[in-house]
Every structure is written in structure tokens, then in C-alpha cells.
Structure 1
Amino acid sequence: MSYLGVDLGTSGLRALLVDADGAPIGSAESYYAVSNPASGWSEQDPSDWLAALDEVVAKLSSNHSAAFKALRGIGVAGHMHGATLLDDAGDVLRPCILWNDTRSEAEAAELDQTTEVRELSANIVFPGFTAPKLVWVKNNESETFEKVAKVLLPAAYLNYHLTGEYVADRSDSSGTSWLDVKQRAWSDLLLKASTMSLDQMPNLVEGSETAGVLRSELKSRWGLTGEVVVCGGAGDNAAAACGIGALREGDGFVSLGTSGVVLAARDSFNPAPDTALHTFCHAVPDQWYQMGVMLSATDSLNWLSRIMATPPADLTKALGTDLKAPGDVRFLPYLSGERTPHNDARIRGAFTGLSMNSDKEELTRAVIEGVSFGLKDSLDALKSTGAKIDALTAIGGGSASGYWLNLLATVLDVPLKIPTGREFGAALGAARLAMIAATGASPSDIVAAPETGFVMQPNSDLTAAFADAYQAFRTAYPAVKNIQ
């Protein structure tokens, strides 16, 4: 038997085929574009996702024919919050409005002030969430809004394509502002707040439960026989948590990706919306997770890389291996606004402390220090809810830099575990959820942590200096906001 994990990302789709023990067999990727038709807008054509899925399936079935024909389960992880609007025939009405689209800032602020919305949804209503997007469509594309029969998140849309069923998992649905996150059910009050109705929502399942079976037309096209279970799947961060083994209280990771995430699994429901933490259902029953999100993590370094015409890896390599004390130049990493802890779509980045002596190395240090301080904002918010975090697993492209890992461990003042191998992300998590759904196995038997290659300990000689620098970083946000 084999299982397929699909990671539907913002810039591309990745599929991972694993065997009955969860060991990787092969993977394939396909890429597509994001459309930005106006400032702050970010959209995607869902047909591009289907074309990408066809491409990766063709590659896997060609390169791993025998294993692919033994496929028994599929799990889909997807980028969260996207609004894919379907009419009563199941056809897409307009391009999907993505997670990083900020056009509905005013609608989000109004919803966030509506009685009981924060309490039931357990979160601030961010402009990137799904509910305010639908209010924006109602206000600006009324003819389209009147035709909306179903609203599906990106992963749920792939589930619909695979099974013909309107079904979504609870972890992904937690980011809509329509889900009662404590009760793990659609809320009539939250739906009515944005003039939506229950019949426009997909059916809910846990990510590790069966959502349906692969449609006969796809089975035939893919050359498969026998029943192929499609599980509920997960939002991308819940799936990544399943891939890294973060299932129970005390498990967590920090991701140095395009955006930055500090995530902690929770055994109980402990919302803290005022901190701008996300509190979401996990992809398995009776578990939750919380995470702080910063919008520009390695994207901040990528921005500096473009300005300096120097590859990001070369910028960090030039810093050497020995961690230096905090620099005089400070960077606020708010190039696209910020979520945790500020919930500020309008704030923008800044350098302070520049002098005639400021050079490429000093600016690089300032950028990665600023990103690390931004991630500490999220860690401190998590700790304020009672989360016990003794160590974190470090993932994402930025974790390839030894200097940055040393810096981050010191700023966060927690050990960072660096996993061996390459397969511990959302695609693996989605495949694991498919295994659970298809076999009936216990999540704790399937969702295991990867082997740790080494542990980066905080630099005790510099933790106090970086703690002081972090406090200075915290005071810079309101000062910069006042002059922007």
C-alpha cells in the first residue's frame, strides 16, 4: 500500500508518495503564478491547482508506477483562508482570494468589533481570513455574491475535485472566522455576521477522518484499482505540525520560511485573541494548536538580497559562524504589515541607527536580528497562554544558516532541534493523515517526530544582551507607527 500527501502551496503544489510505513518513495512538484491585479490584492485561478495536480500525478505514476498503483489514501494540505467561490453547479465564480490579500481590511475591522465574534472564533478577524473576503465580495461584486452556493478553502476545493463531495477539515476551517473553534462546528452567529448561511459551507470532518473516496473518473485516468480514501486533510501549518510530530502539549516548531511561524500543540483550548495569536483546531480530534505568525521572515532577507544584488545564502555566509552581539542598526521586519502581535496591515518596515559606517554585513545582521525578534514576539505570546515550550524544532529555508540558527536560539532562549533528512513538512503530514483515515490507526502511532540531527543551544554569553536589544526593538514599533 502507498499514500499520497499533497501540499497545495501559494507558489506551487508538491506531492509526496510514501509507503505503508510512512517512508518516502518519491515526490514531484509543479508551479503556478499569483495574480496581483491591484495593490494589496492576491488571487489565483483554481484551475491552475488542478493542472498542477495532474502534472505531479503523471510524474509520480511514471517514475514510481508499481507504488503509485498501490495507492490507498490521499491527504491534502493547503494554504489557509483562501476564498474559492462556487455556484450551484460547482463551477468557480471568480479567482480565489488568497491568504495574503489585504483588500478586506475595513470589513475585517468591522467584523472584529461585532459582538461575540472574537469569543466564538477564538481569533482576531484578520484581513487575510475568509469571512471578511466574502463581505468585500458582497460590497463590491454583488452579482457574484448572489451566485455563491459554496465557499471552499483551497484544500477543500481539491477535496471536492478528488471526491465530488463538499467537505473540509476543522483545522483549515478554523481560519475562516465562521468556525466555533472550541466546539469545532460552524457557528450560526458567525455566519450571520457576514451574511452567510450554513448551506454555503462544506461538511466538516477531522483531518484524520475520511472525507470521501477518489472519484471513479480520476481512478480510471490515474490507472488505479480498488478504493482510495481521501481524508479531511489540513491547513498547511497543522499538516506541517503532523509532519514534524507536534501533536501534544509541549511539541512545537519555529519555521523560518517566507513567513515566520512559532507553533505549539495544545491539549486544551486556551484562546488569546488579544495577543493576535491564532488558536485553531488541530488536524486530529480533541487537539488544538496555537501559533504566532509574522508576514515577512525569510522574505525580509530576500528583499535585502534583491537590493544588494547578492544571493541570500551569500549574505548570511558572510557573517561567519561566531554569533556577534546585537548591532547598532535595528530593522523592523514589517515589509507587508504584521500579524502577531500587532494585527497591523498598514505598518511598514524600517531601519534605524544607520550611519556612514553601515555596510552590507551590518544590514544583514540587522535584518535577521529583526526577524528573530519578531518571532520572539510570537513565542512570548504563546507563553502568556500557559504553553510549556522547553525546545522547538527549527524548519524552513532560513534554518540552513548556522549563524541564523545560533542567533534565533539565543534570542528565543530555547534549544532548537534540527531534524535529519528532508521529509518532515506539510506533504508528509498530509500523507500521515491519509494513513490514519485509511487504516484506522491511532494518530499517536503515525505522527512521530523525525530524528534530531543536532541541537542548537542558546549562547549564554549573549542572551542578556539580546534580551536588552529585544526590549529596544519592542519600543520601536509604536515610534515608527506614529511617523508613517
Structure 2
Amino acid sequence: MTTRLELVCALGIDLGTSGIKVVALSPKGRILATAREPYRTIAACEGQAEQDCGDWLKALTRAVNHIQQKSIRKLPVKAIAVTGQMPTLVVLNGGKPLGHAITWQDTRAESWTSERMNAELRHDVYRRTGVHIDGRYLAPMYGFHRKRSRKRDVILSAKDFLLYALTGVTATDPSTASGYGLYNLESGAWDTRLCEFWNISADQLPSIRASSFSLLLNRSGAKLLRCASDTPVLVGCADSAAGVYALNGSAPANDTVTILTGSSTVIIKSDSRPTWDGRSRFLLTPLAVEHTYGQEADLLASGSARDWVQNLLAGNNSKPRRLLWQSAREIAPGANGLLFAPYLAGGEQGILWNPNLKGALIGLTWAHGPGHIARALLEGMSFEIRRCIEALEDKPITSVRITGWMAENAADLQILADILGRPVHAFKLKSASATGAALFTGLVDQQSYFDQMKASVFKPTVTNSPCYNEVYARYIARFPAKSSAKLTAVAKESSHRAR
């Protein structure tokens, strides 16, 4: 029986890297409808990765139209929350976007940023912000592309721009603020010293609000979403934080690792306090719930690496692609001696902080075919996930939860479980981040939602898991974890001084 409460819904909106995702949730936690609309990334020169903010808003309207068409009844939207890719730079000037958004995949500011940093300064930034600063964070990205700071400029992340488009308010939350490279974890405010270093004034930055802080949909936003004006819109959180919320709710356990697979892969362990790594191996970022933090490692090329390999080896037709992965999944563990280091994008490679790392195929012979290469890629990504989990495991990790493209195929999940040597709980969500945003609105009963969330569990097999331990040992020996001896030395020296 449908109650009066079920005649409304919560809307979660995820401004993703390749497209916008919208999810409608009922107050009882039922997924009523989902929609995804893609948009283009402009890559006209080396290192460029830009998107048109206008394309985002057009895609949003199309996605909401699909949601309404899929719903049996046009249920009134009673609450909205937003999330999005980060760090992606939008500069407002005169209330309008100045040029295109520059996405986190853009690498053009890397060298410029490196020239301005040394190991000690990088470690100081890590202690203040929890991030390893590079040219993908908003402060250096703005400095490189804008050349000279303008007082009228307002610097926003992608999600914050979406919030502005819906409400007319420039605001961010702690999890998204971490992507600016200016957010001080201990003070919960913009770091004055770092703002001065990057020549950015506080007036150019959005106010920092809790993820649960509620604004109101304005007329422009109501037109975009075809919802009533004054509908509550939560400030929301980063896409990774929303994904963690979708799989764990308001009380994530510190013995659980959450893996979110998309264009990139995010590996997060939750904690109730900020805990920096003495070896500076992982990021430290606020999560959606106040006073919770994520120890985070990111693999920048995972879903994008999979797409690259299948385009290279199987072209654009669905049947050859399907046969490629079918062949890969039938090959024995270890890919007949082939190792694939999946470092196809610069920047963050899990806990390996070396922007000069490149992808590599080791052991390639005449005996290998396309299926072996695809299999080695799946194994290489899983090896890097294991490396990250081992770095996060200061206490025993008893649960691994995963969603995204890697959670869609049983064979891929079995490979992951065998390599990790741990049970893997897979959740099939079309968009974990959009679902987490809708759940976070407070309109949805969490217990009812999780009662309907059935995970598939994959346990390590007694035959393949021991075999993978040997292959993993060879992989780690070939691609060592200590990627920056200088950074580690400075971290240890600073740690001793602090005592």
C-alpha cells in the first residue's frame, strides 16, 4: 500500500566527469528512477580537458525530463542534494562562467605548479589540508590559467557551480573545499597563508557550509529542474563522499573500505577524526557527515583505462568488445606472465606520488593476445587497489564494499576478491554518488533504504588467491611503492621535529 509520504521524492544530482546522473528516491528508500545524460570534454591540445558549463545545465534538464517520464506519477520533489566531480575549476565573473570549466583531468598546470613547490612546502600543505598539491587543484589551476588574479573573479568547483545555478548562492562544503587546496582541516576555514601563497583573496572564494546546510531553489533553478521554487537544496558534498554515504549511511565504520569505480577509482576508509599518514601516502578528506573523515587513495585511470584498452583492441563495436572481455576473463590468473601497470594518466596513482609514472606492459611475448592484455589490466588495477588497502590498514579491515563498473561483472569481482584475499561486497547502483546525495537529503529513511540494498558477496577462492599472492609480489617488486624518497624523508624529519 502506498502511503501519502510515498507520493513525494528526493532528488540526487551528480555532475560527473563524463555525464550528469540524476536519481529519484522515495522516502522509503526505493529508487524510483535514474537518468544519465553525457556531455563532451574538449581536448584540442595536449593536456587540455575542458567542459562547457552550459552543456552541464542542458544535460541536467534532459536528465530530469527522463526522470519524470520514467516515473509512473510525476511525484513532487521535496528535497534536492548535489554532488560532483572534483577538483574541476569554474571561474565566475559578473555572475557568469568565464570560459569553459577546466576539469581534474587537465594536466596543463602541472609543470607550473611543480616549479613553485619543494618537498618541504608540499608536506606543509599536506599537514594543513590533507592533500598532495599539484596542478589539478583549484588554487594552482586558477593561478596558471588566469595568470593574474582579478578581484571580481569567484572561484568555484563544479558542484559549487551547480549549486549556484540552482540557488544563486556561492557556497561549498568541507569535502569539496578540500579540492581547492586551500581548506585547513583543523580550523575548518580557508587557510590564510595558502591563500596568500596562491594570490587568492577570501572574497574570491565561496562560503563554507556543512553538507547538510539547506538553501532554496530559485526561479532559474526551478526552471532547470521543473520543480517548485523554494524547494530545499542541500549544499551537498564531493562525489566520493556521496558515494561513501550511499554504501554506508551516516555511520561509516572504520573497519570498512569503500571502493568507487568510475573514470577513476576512489578507495576510502572512514574515521571519526582526522588521521594524517606519517609517510604522506594517502589523502585526508572530510566526508558528508560532520566530524567524519576519509583516508583516501585515488587511481586516476581505471574506467578510463578500460575504455582505452577496449577501443585500442576492439574498436567501437559492442560485439568485439564483449568478446575481448570474455576472452580476458577466461584466461588463467597471472595473464601468462604479463604485468600491466595502469599508470595511463598523470597525477595520483593510489599511494604512488610520482607524476612521472607511465603505464607499462612487462613480459609481453608472441604467446600473448588481446585477451591477455585486457586480463593484465584488470589484474593491474586490482593490484593497485590492494596496495592502497594495505596502506590504509593500521587496524584490521573486515569489510570491502564496491560499486560502479567493476561491480557489474561477477568475473571481475572474483578476480578482485582473489587478489585482495578478502570478501568483496558488491552493490549495483547506476550512480552511487547521485543515490548518496538523494539519501543525504534527510527525506529518505536510511533503514528502509539499506534493507533494500542487497549486496552480492564474492569470497577468495582457495585455488586462485594463493596464486595471486605470488603474482602480486612480483608486481610490487617491479613497481615499488616508494616513489619519492625525498618526500618521505621530509615527512619523517617534520614528524621528529613535531615531537
Q: Same fold (TM over 0.5)?
A: yes
1:200 aligned onto 2:204: yes
Structure 1's 319 and 48: CA in aligned 2 closer, same or farther, altered over 3 A?
A: closer
1:398 aligned onto 2:421: no
Structure 1's 40 and 248: CA in aligned 2 closer, same or farther, altered over 3 A?
A: same
For residue 261 of structure 1, the aligned residue among 262, 266, 284 is: 266
Q: Determine the structure 1 residue equivalent to 2:385.
A: 375
Q: Determine the structure 2 residue equivalent to 1:408.
A: 416
CA shift for structure 1 position 306: 2.1
1:188 aligned onto 2:188: no
Answer whether contact 1:11 1:31 (CA < 8 A) is retained. Answer: yes
Equivalent residue letter for 2:244: A
Q: Determine the structure 1 residue equivalent to 2:67.
A: 60
CA shift for structure 1 position 275: 4.2
Structure 1's 134 and 268: CA in aligned 2 closer, same or farther, altered over 3 A?
A: same
**Counterpart Cα distance in 1 of 2:377 and 2:226:** 50
Answer whether contact 2:403 2:429 (CA < 8 A) is retained. Answer: no
Matched position secondary structure for 1:36: coil
Answer whether contact 2:281 2:352 (CA < 8 A) is retained. Answer: yes
**Counterpart Cα distance in 2 of 1:194 and 1:351:** 39
Q: Determine the structure 1 residue equivalent to 2:110.
A: 105
1:208-357 to 2 correspondence within 5 Å? 208-210=212-214, 212-219=215-222, 224-225=227-228, 227-245=230-248, 247-272=252-277, 274-309=279-314, 311-320=320-329, 324-325=333-334, 327-339=336-348, 340-357=350-367
**Which has the larger displacement, 15-24 or 247-256?**
247-256
Equivalent residue letter for 1:182: E
Equivalent residue letter for 1:16: V
Q: Determine the structure 2 residue equivalent to 1:48.
A: 55
Structure 1's 223 and 356: CA in aligned 2 closer, same or farther, altered over 3 A?
A: closer
Structure 2 unaligned blocks of 5 or more: 1-7, 484-499
CA shift for structure 1 position 51: 1.2
Between the two proteins, what is the percent identity of the paired residues?
23
Matched position secondary structure for 2:13: strand
Q: Determine the structure 2 residue equivalent to 1:30.
A: 37
Matched position secondary structure for 1:336: coil
Q: Residues 180-205 of structure 1, C-alpha deviation per residue, up to 9 Å, x if partnerless? A: 12333221122122111111111111
Matched position secondary structure for 1:232: strand
For residue 454 of structure 2, the aligned residue among 448, 452, 455 is: 452
Q: Residues 384-442 of structure 1, C-alpha deviation per residue, up to 9 Å, x if partnerless? A: xx2542121122212333332122112112110123x53561111111122x2xx5x89
CA shift for structure 1 position 454: 2.7
Q: Aligned Cα RMSD in Å?
A: 2.7
1:427 aligned onto 2:434: yes
Matched position secondary structure for 1:365: helix
Structure 1's 30 and 164: CA in aligned 2 closer, same or farther, altered over 3 A?
A: same
Number of residue-to-residue matches in the alignment? 466
CA shift for structure 1 position 112: 6.2
Answer whether contact 1:78 1:234 (CA < 8 A) is retained. Answer: yes
Answer whether contact 2:334 2:471 (CA < 8 A) is retained. Answer: no
Q: Residues 131-183 of structure 1, C-alpha deviation per residue, up to 9 Å, x if partnerless? A: 21022124xx43xx325521111010010011111111111111221101233
Q: Residues 63-94 of structure 1, C-alpha deviation per residue, up to 9 Å, x if partnerless? A: 548544x211111110011110011x211112
**Counterpart Cα distance in 1 of 2:14 and 2:98:** 24
Matched position secondary structure for 2:246: helix
Matched position secondary structure for 1:75: strand
1:156 aligned onto 2:160: yes
Matched position secondary structure for 2:324: helix
Matched position secondary structure for 2:479: helix
**Which has the larger displacement, 254-263 or 235-244?**
254-263
Q: Determine the structure 1 residue equivalent to 2:491.
A: none
**Counterpart Cα distance in 1 of 2:43 and 2:224:** 34
1:86 aligned onto 2:100: no
Q: Residues 281-334 of structure 1, C-alpha deviation per residue, up to 9 Å, x if partnerless? A: 001111011221112223333222222226444323224568635631111111
Structure 1's 133 and 30: CA in aligned 2 closer, same or farther, altered over 3 A?
A: same
**Counterpart Cα distance in 1 of 2:396 and 2:413:** 21
**Counterpart Cα distance in 1 of 2:455 and 2:431:** 13
Matched position secondary structure for 2:336: coil
**Counterpart Cα distance in 1 of 2:224 and 2:280:** 48
**Counterpart Cα distance in 2 of 1:296 and 1:390:** 26
For residue 475 of structure 1, the aligned residue among 468, 474, 477 is: 477
1:94-173 to 2 correspondence within 5 Å? 94-109=99-114, 110-111=116-117, 113=119, 114=121, 116-138=124-146, 141-142=147-148, 145-146=149-150, 148-173=152-177
CA shift for structure 1 position 42: 0.9
CA shift for structure 1 position 41: 1.6
Answer whether contact 1:269 1:288 (CA < 8 A) is retained. Answer: yes
**Counterpart Cα distance in 2 of 1:318 and 1:476:** 26
**Which has the larger displacement, 364-373 or 7-16?**
364-373
**Counterpart Cα distance in 2 of 1:273 and 1:149:** 37
Structure 1's 240 and 166: CA in aligned 2 closer, same or farther, altered over 3 A?
A: same
Structure 1's 75 and 377: CA in aligned 2 closer, same or farther, altered over 3 A?
A: same
